[in-house]
């Protein structure tokens, strides 16, 4: 009997699998266009932007632990990212994983996976906020500034989060929110074949509490309103997404690897 996680499983088998497929494609496209490295296996996709920020170097599991040799999987992840290069990487799993701390990984937590059905909704932007879609390197620089300060990503310093190659990634929509001319909030949406992958939702601390992050999330969520949208939330952000119609589906397991 099929498990639904075989490489031959057709698209549309489950929303979660469609989401992982969209996410994996985004990671591969981003690495290719931004001069990074990528490697795909049946059970995991690996993407290394060579960033000093662990959240821009990613492993994404494509199969549950029961469907693969976990020891071999961990060895392949470790080998791809290497050791002694500085920085780190984030490894997202849609399922509970065996304890990887003996292998040197740090358990970062279990963030909620949330899904919103397709369809438009009324979402007036707050007064004082202007939202622009990034189409050039100047806009991408504004996105970087707001994202670095909003997450925060202090280990990036003044460096870029993605790099200019992100503008060439197909079906990727990148949005920046401005208060006057100051970039203050971000969000992005990668439009997959069956579901949108919403990412990079952040608001700079001094502009929080004004609805800016929610407005940016709406813009990313409705980049393609004919498709459902899905995202990985924080527990703090979960009430905002629930207010927008996102439903909690399951929790991921997030491990951080060092190198």
Considering the domain architecture, whether residues 99 and 130 belong to the same structural domain is answered as no
Do residue 120 and residue 242 come from a single domain?
Answer: yes
* Residue 151: inside a domain: yes
What does residue 98 show for φ and ψ, rounded to 5 degrees? Answer: -60, 160
Q: Are 127 and 78 members of one domain?
A: no
For the chain, 259 residues long, the average pLDDT of each consecutive 10-residue run is 89 95 95 94 94 86 95 96 77 96 95 95 87 96 90 62 86 96 96 94 95 96 96 95 96 94
Total number of domains in the chain: 2
Residue 8 lies in a domain: no
Position 4 in a domain: no
Domain of 35?
15-110+253-258
The predicted model scores a pTM of 0.93
The CATH number of residue 239's host domain is: 3.40.630.30
């Amino acid at each position: 009997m099929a498990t639904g996680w075989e490489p031959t499983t057709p698209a549309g088998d489950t929303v979660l699998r469609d989401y992982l497929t969209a996410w994996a494609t985004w990671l591969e496209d981003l690495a290719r266009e931004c001069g990074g490295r990528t490697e795909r296996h049946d059970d995991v996709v690996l993407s290394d932007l060579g960033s000093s920020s662990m959240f821009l170097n990613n492993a994404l599991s494509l199969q549950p632990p029961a469907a693969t040799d976990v020891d071999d999987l961990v060895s392949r992840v470790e080998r791809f990212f290497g050791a002694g290069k500085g920085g780190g990487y984030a490894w997202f799993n849609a399922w509970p994983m065996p304890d990887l701390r003996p292998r040197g990984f740090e358990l970062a937590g279990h963030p909620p996976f949330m899904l919103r059905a397709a369809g438009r909704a009324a979402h007036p932007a707050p007064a004082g906020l202007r939202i622009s879609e990034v189409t050039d390197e100047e806009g991408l620089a504004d996105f970087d500034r707001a994202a670095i300060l909003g997450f925060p990503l202090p280990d990036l310093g003044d460096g870029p989060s993605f790099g200019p190659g992100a503008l060439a990634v197909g079906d990727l929509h990148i949005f920046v929110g401005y208060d006057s001319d100051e970039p203050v909030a971000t969000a992005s949406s990668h439009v997959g074949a069956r579901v949108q992958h919403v990412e990079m939702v952040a608001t700079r601390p001094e502009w929080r509490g004004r609805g800016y992050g929610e407005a940016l999330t709406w813009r990313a969520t409705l980049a393609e309103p004919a498709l459902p949208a899905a995202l990985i939330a924080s527990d703090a952000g979960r009430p905002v997404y629930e207010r927008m119609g996102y439903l909690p589906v399951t929790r991921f397991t997030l491990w951080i690897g060092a190198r």
